[in-house]
Amino acid sequence: MDHYPWTQTVLDRGYQLLYLDQRGTGLSTPVTASTLQMRGYNDVQAKYLKLYRADSIVKDCEAIRMALTADYPDGKKKWSIMGQSFGGFCSITYLSFHPEGLREAFLFGGLQPLLKSPDEVYRKLYQKVAQRNEAYYVKYPEDVDRVKAIMNFLKRFGDGKIKLPSEGTLTRRRFRQLGIMFGFHGGLDAIHDIILRASCDIEAFGHLTRGSLSAVDNATGFDDHLIYSILHEPIYCEGNAPNWSAHRLMEEYPAFDLDKTDGPIYFTGEMIYPSMFEDYAELRKVQDVAELVASDADWNPLFDEQQLAKNEVPVYAASYVEDMYVDFDLSMDTARKIKGCKVFTTNVMFHDAIRSKMDEVVKQAFALRDDVLD
């Protein structure tokens, strides 16, 4: 991880860095279909996955901190944390339950909504994804017809009968999941490139070539992110079952109807759908486990509003008005509930700004820390 964009900048600020593979990722007991199935029957696997949310990750961090600082003087046992996206969610859990371990916290696009069910999250996000679709079709109006032609092709030749290099199937619903890239810098252009290539294939050859299939496959890589796919909705749950929230709420937004006859076809965003556990080769292997997790209402707290209201740990956050994954309004509600939280906001950056606009974002975060904005 020494090549992460902010590494040298943070080192130059006088910090030492420790990058963690959170449990279930990287080299930290990675969770795949094969490793999960080693745990036992489906109910055991589902129970095991409950140990991979922010509450457990923070406990890991505290154990590591205490081990590393065992011989440190008391004044130097605390550490600073930096979290991007879900890393920011973990930071809020840390502030809630183990603030004694923290000197300061930096959050980038990670001011999680302080909600106990994902439904309100997805109501907000569907609206933002619709806006990003509108922006896409304004930039590439010719893609309105191209996307329709591709969708008609997929439907005409049997929705789901086209195999991808990963052994998954290319359905219309999977194709429109390309919209997850709308929330990144350069995402509109990246999707346009795929649409243009696929459209040219169909026009010239009457089928999608290997290059187009690989492009779609690589851009919808949920097979390599099993934890993300199964636990994406439960990261918003406390005492409530997610019950495929994004799937349930989609009917409230007719613009996303795949079979509508008027207007452009809308892509979806970061949402997870039960159909993905049919369309993706790796996810198929854990479909029954995913159903068990989706119906489970027994989820522990991930934040403590009372503790956050009396927080004494300095918190510096970046929040983006155009964030397609973490709603800006809900993020600002969270910021107001964390005592002493300072926020840099902008409407000219997207969720991945810590990567795409690293110099400016980190500069603003440290300006908050150093109190030099005035």
In angstroms, the Cα distances linking 364 to 189, 301, 345, 361 are 27, 31, 10, 5
Please give the positions annotated as active site.
85, 323, 351
The burial class, CB within 10 Å (0-12 / 13-18 / 19+), for 278 is middle
Coil, helix or strand at residue 275: coil
Length of the chain as a residue count: 374
Tell me the residue type at 270.
E
Q: Give 82's Cβ-side CA count (13 Å radius).
A: 18
- At a CB cut-off of 8 Å and minimum separation 6, what does 136 contact? 143, 182, 188, 191, 192, 267
Task: Write the CA distances from 115 to 242, 328, 331, integer angstroms.
Answer: 12, 14, 11
**Element (H or E) spanning 319, and its range?**
strand 315-320
Tokens (6 digits) for 188: 């509109």
**Amino acid letter for position 24:** G
The token pair that represents 160 in the structure block: 């789901």
Neighbours of 83 (CB within 10 A): 22
Instruction: Say which residues have a Cβ less than 8 Å from residue 358's Cβ, sequence separation at least 6.
Output: 5, 6, 9
